[in-house]
Amino acid sequence: GVDCLAIIREYSVARYKRGFDSISAIRHLAKFDKDLMIWIRKIGSVETSLRWHQPFEVVDALARAILYQQLHGRAAATIVAKVEQAINSKRIQASTLASLSDLQLRECGVSANKLLALRDLARRELTGEIPTTRQLQYMNNQQIIDALTPTRGIGHWTVEMMLMFRLGRQDVLPVDDFGIRKGMQVLDRLAKMPTAKELKARGEIWSPYQTMASLYLWRIADFDKKP
């Protein structure tokens, strides 16, 4: 596993803020990508979709991500509500998960695979392999990905969503995301969606504000017509 405390000792000089200046981000994008700027003017602000300043706990956020995987929002919300009722708490933690048997979790609608993932998440928290929210402030994006993805059911994309929407990291481009790739296809008027490698290369001009570009690519993917 990843030694989170060792990472903090090594990198404690750097502390990452949650969120970034959206005006500076848009100015950067406008300077280096005129096509994207046309869309930014058409779409307007996307800041309402951000939750950078809302408090959260890492295990709770990851547990909810596991429960929501491969389900429609309403069905997943129903399962989460049943789990919250079973643990008598709105916070999903290793200790509260441990208070439920496998049968009780299955009765909440948790699948066998997700049950194994939740157990692995709880075990890793208890052994100190899951960094706390405070510890994340001293870890760069790749260190966070390396620390969390060994957990069963937690993939690269899930951590990227946490980096963007929970931690407000400014330079994240989820190159494997369908909506991001579709948005890139519309933006550049491509015959087919770009590969992850092509998207990564294309996104270099947006750095260090790839997160803001990503937010707009999702919106662009929703449009059928060029601006």
Torsions phi, psi of 222, nearest 5? -80, -10
CA 24 to each of CA 30, 208, 209: distance values in angstroms, whole numbers, following the listed order: 10, 10, 9
Q: Which of 60, 171, 177, 188 is catalytic?
A: 177
Handedness of CA 100, 117, 174, 68 (dihedral sign): negative
**Best CA proximity match to 152, nearest among 182, 167, 130:** 130
Q: Are 180 and 214 in contact (CB under 8 A)?
A: yes
Provide the CA 14 distance to its chain's centre, in angstroms: 21
Annotated catalytic, 120? no
Measure the CA–CA gap between 5 and 102, rounded to whole angstroms.
31
Instruction: Please calculate the CA angle 161-165-170 and round it to the nearest 5 degrees.
Output: 95
Q: Under 8 Å CB-to-CB from 3, ≥6 apart: which residues?
A: none
Residues with catalytic annotation? 177
